Structure 1
Amino acid sequence: MFGQERPAAGEASAEALRLEGVRRIYGAEGNRVAALDGVSLSLPAGSFTAVMGPSGSGKSTLLQCAAGLDRPTEGRVFVDGAELTGGGEAALTRFRRQRVGFVFQQFNLLPTLNVMENAVLPLKLAGRRVDKAAVRAVLERVGLGDRLDRLPAELSGGQQQRVAIARALVTRPRVVFADEPTGALDTRSARAVLELLRESVRTSGQTVVMVTHDPVAASFADSVLYLADGRIVGYQTSPTAETVAERMTRLADEVERQRTAAGV
C-alpha cells in the first residue's frame, strides 16, 4: 500500500526522494516510446535540484512519476522514505497531500477564492485543521500579507505564482515539485519566485525539484540533473547560468547528432 516504509539505510529523513530503475513506456505494442528509461537517483533532504534537458528528454515525465502524478511502467519511487506502490487513486491522492507540494507554470488558482482561501485549500481537501495564523505567516513570508482578501484577477502574474507557492508550502510537504514555475513570468517576477523557492530550502529544510528550460532559473538550484532520451546523462553542482547554458548547448548538439545518425 502507499506509505510502506523503506528498510532503514541510515536516517530516512536524510533522503527526500529516490527513484530506482524507473521506466515509463507510452504507446501500444510495436509503437512504444520510453519517456524514461531506467532512471535511478537519490536527492537529499533540504536540497534544490533543477532538471534540464532538450525537448522530449523526459523532464516532465520524471517529475510526474516522482510526484505520484503518473505511475512508472517499471521501477520504484520513494518520497521521504515511503514507497509509492500498490493501492488505488484515492490512496495515492492521500499520499500526495501528506508529503508532496506542487507548483506549476499555470498558477491553477480558483478565481472565486481570495488569496487566503486559495492558500488553505490543500489543508481543507486533506481534512486537516486550518491554522490561519500559520497560513498568514507563510503568505507574509511570500510578500502577500497585505493582500489576503484579493482575488486572483486582482493580482499580477508574479503575485499569483507566489500564492501558488504559499499553497504548496502550507501543508509542510517534504518535497515540492515545480514544473516550469517561472515560464509565464517576467524577469523580475521570475527572480522573486526563484528566491522564494530557494528560501524554502534554506529556512524550512524543504526539498525542491524543479523542471526548467531556463539556465538562469537553474542557477538558483544547488545542482542540475541533465536528461536526454529518458536517461540521466549528467550532473552539475554549484551551477551558474553560463555553465548551464554551455552544457545545454553541447547536450542538444549531441542529441541531434545521435538522432540524425539513427535516422530519427
Structure 2
Amino acid sequence: MSAFRGRKSPESVGGAEALRLVGVRKVYGAADAAVAALDGVSLSLPPGTFTAVMGPSGSGKSTLLQCAAGLTRPDEGQILIDGVPMTGGGEKQLTKFRRNRIGFIFQQYNLMPTLNVAENVTLPLKLAGRRADPERTRTVLAQVGLADRLAHRPDQLSGGQCQRVAIARALVAEPSIVLADEPTGALDMKSARDVLSLLREAVHAHGRTVVMVTHDPLAASYADTVQFLADGQLAGWIAAPTPDSVAERLAHLGDPAHQAATPHHQPIGA
C-alpha cells in the first residue's frame, strides 16, 4: 500500500462535486411532536477529499449521512452524487443508484457470518448483478492488509480486521463516494488508528471521496475538513483539523459570540 502523501486541501481538488446537498430537510414526527433532524442543509464537497461530520447527539449528523446514502429519503431538497440527482423513482431505482455510486461503512461491520472475507467483499457486486473480478478483490484486500485472510470467516477475525473487510467491501466497486458511520466506534485505539489511516489512504492515494460521521475529535483530525451540525443545521467548519481545534470548536457550538467569528458555511466548491 502506498504511503500517505500529505493532505489535499479542498481548494486543490478540481472536477465536479462528489456530493451536493441542496436545501435538504428531514422531519420526524408530526404536529407538536415534529422534529427537524435536518433543517435546510446545503453542502458541497469536491472529489478526492475526506470530510468528517460532527455534532452533539440529535444534531442530525446520522440523518445527513443516511440521506446522502439514499437510505432515508428527505422531505425536501435535492441530493446529487457526481452531479447526478439521486433518483426520485421507486425503491428499485434508488437501490440501483446507491449500489452503483455509493459505498457505506457501518460501525458494526455488517458482515455475513457464513461467508468468508472474499465473499463478503464481493457480495454487494453480486447483489447488483455485476461480475466480481477476483484480481480486483485480491488487490483491494491487499491494500487493507488482508491478503492472507481471503478464506477466513468474520468470527476468525479481530474487530479491526472485520472493519478492514468492510472498507474493502465499500471500495471494491469503485464508488463515487464512501460514507462511514462511526467506523471506529467499536474498535480499540490501535485498530481505530489503522482504520482511519486506511480511509485517509483511500482518499489521498486512490482518489476516493470519504464522508465520515464521528463523535471523536481524534478521528476527525484525520480528515481534510470537519463540518459541524447543531439542531439540524450547519454550524461551521474548519480545515486541517487537529484534535484540539475540533474539541474547542465542539465546546463552543452553542456560543453565539464564537459562532459569529467563525464561518458557518463552507464555500460551494471549496
The answer on whether the counterparts of 2:87 and 2:93 sit within 8 Å (CA) in structure 1 is: no
Give the percent of matched residue pairs that are identical in Structure 1 and Structure 2: 67
Whole-angstrom CA distance in 2 between matches of 1:112 and 1:85: 33
TM-score (norm 2): 0.88
Matched, 1:163 2:165: yes
Could you say which residue in structure 2 is the equivalent of 1:200?
A: 202
Could you say which residue in structure 1 is the equivalent of 2:45?
A: 43
Structure 2 vs 1, CA of residues 13 and 174 (structure 1 numbering), >3 Å: closer, same or farther? farther
Pairing of 1:60-209 with structure 2 (within 5 A): 60-209=62-211
The answer on whether the counterparts of 1:24 and 1:72 sit within 8 Å (CA) in structure 2 is: yes
Whole-angstrom CA distance in 2 between matches of 1:57 and 1:89: 27
Kindly provide the amino acid, as one letter, of the partner of residue 137 in structure 2: V
Q: Secondary structure at the match of 1:25?
A: strand
Q: Secondary structure at the match of 1:147?
A: coil
Whole-angstrom CA distance in 2 between matches of 1:136 and 1:21: 41
Shift, 1:67, TM fit: 1.1
The answer on whether the counterparts of 2:59 and 2:230 sit within 8 Å (CA) in structure 1 is: yes
Whole-angstrom CA distance in 2 between matches of 1:95 and 1:39: 22
Whole-angstrom CA distance in 1 between matches of 2:221 and 2:114: 36
Alignment deviations for residues 155-181 of structure 1 (CA, whole Å, 9 cap, x no partner): 000000000000000000000000000
Whole-angstrom CA distance in 2 between matches of 1:57 and 1:130: 39
Whole-angstrom CA distance in 2 between matches of 1:145 and 1:184: 23
Whole-angstrom CA distance in 1 between matches of 2:34 and 2:187: 35
Kindly provide the amino acid, as one letter, of the partner of residue 193 in structure 1: V
Whole-angstrom CA distance in 2 between matches of 1:119 and 1:22: 32
Structure 1 stretches of 5 or more lacking a match?
1-11, 256-264
Whole-angstrom CA distance in 2 between matches of 1:254 and 1:58: 19
Whole-angstrom CA distance in 2 between matches of 1:17 and 1:73: 18
> How many equivalent residue pairs?
244
Could you say which residue in structure 2 is the equivalent of 1:8?
A: none
Could you say which residue in structure 2 is the equivalent of 1:234?
A: 236
Whole-angstrom CA distance in 2 between matches of 1:44 and 1:86: 23
Shift, 1:14, TM fit: 2.3
Whole-angstrom CA distance in 2 between matches of 1:241 and 1:145: 32
Could you say which residue in structure 2 is the equivalent of 1:59?
A: 61
Shift, 1:62, TM fit: 0.5
